[in-house]
Amino acid sequence: MIEVKNLCQTFELGKKQNKMKLDVLKDVSFQMNKGDILAVTGRSGSGKSTLLNLIGGLMKPTSGEIMINQTNVTNFSEGDFATFRLDNIGFIFQNFQLIPSMTAYENVELPLVLKGVAENKRASIVLTTLNRVGLEAYKDHYPSELSGGQQQRISIARALVIEPPIILADEPTGSLDSETEQEILSIIQQLNKESNITFIIITHDDAVAKIGNKHIHLHDGKLVKEEVAI
């Protein structure tokens, strides 16, 4: 499903005369099968979020290769990757990234609008998806009217609404209390089990990392540990 080969990412800092190079990822390689849950851990600054952004096409790698579902996406243009994401990748963010002026329904509907799904088909898809995360009754609420856990469920529904084979989650429980964290992790595990969705989860939390059947640990941009649950 996902193969990362010798991935490197270097950022240039400073002005032209005094540019410095910062190597954020250094020759990272790993593979995932369909239905895997991969936990990516490491200290702040180890390259976790950069890795997720590269796989999600939010930036281009300095070198290396990314294969997703047998498609080499490494050199996709921004437009090509945007189209690819609408069919293949959903995102879940730590701070939810919901649009405050839109209701829960409208936030979840947005990917379908961008994908060009006809209006008469969107309603049933959105309501079904909201029901899957237990929030159909809150469809007319705005983000400010929802708890943190409810906002993250809406974020999950928005990622799920296009039925992507892959969901990328950046600290999905980082802003939640421990009880709500367990509710969100249960939803992720259920989606993985029922729909065979492949997850990559960036986390600092050991409890979150434990739900993965695969685990990689980054240190100073290098993959220093890779484990597979038996």
pLDDT of residue 207: 87
pLDDT of residue 50: 95
CA atoms of 227 and 32, how far apart (whole Å): 12
Task: Kindly report the backbone phi and psi dihedral angles of residue 102, in degrees, each rounded to the nearest multiple of 5, phi listed first.
Answer: -110, 145
Q: Cβ distance 197 to 169 under 8 Å?
A: no
Domain that holds residue 172: 2-228
pLDDT of residue 19: 77
CA-to-CA dists, residue 178 to 1, 5, 108, 155, 184, angstroms: 31, 36, 25, 18, 10
Write down the pTM of the prediction.
0.91
pLDDT of residue 117: 94
Question: b/e string for 167-201 if b means 16 or more Cβ within 10 A?
Answer: bbbbbbbbbbeeebbebbbebbeebbeeeebbbbb
DSSP 9: E
Going residue by residue through the chain, which has 230 residues, state the pLDDT in tens, using 9 for 90 and above.
899 999 999 988 877 767 788 899 999 999 999 999 999 999 988 999 999 999 999 999 999 999 999 999 999 999 999 999 999 999 999 889 999 999 999 999 999 999 999 999 999 999 999 999 999 999 999 999 999 999 999 999 999 999 999 999 999 998 888 899 999 999 999 999 999 999 999 998 888 999 999 999 999 999 998 888 75
CA atoms of 92 and 157, how far apart (whole Å): 9
CA-to-CA dists, residue 175 to 78, 111, 129, 184, 187, angstroms: 30, 24, 23, 11, 16
Q: Cβ distance 9 to 58 under 8 Å?
A: no
CA atoms of 74 and 82, how far apart (whole Å): 13
pLDDT of residue 79: 92
- From the centroid of its chain, how far is CA 145? 24
pLDDT of residue 94: 86
Contacts of residue 23, defined as CB under 8 A and 6 or more positions apart, other chains included, come to 8, 9, 10, 221
CATH number of residue 163's parent domain: 3.40.50.300
pLDDT of residue 138: 96
Q: Cβ distance 151 to 179 under 8 Å?
A: no
pLDDT of residue 58: 93
How many domains are contained in the chain? 1
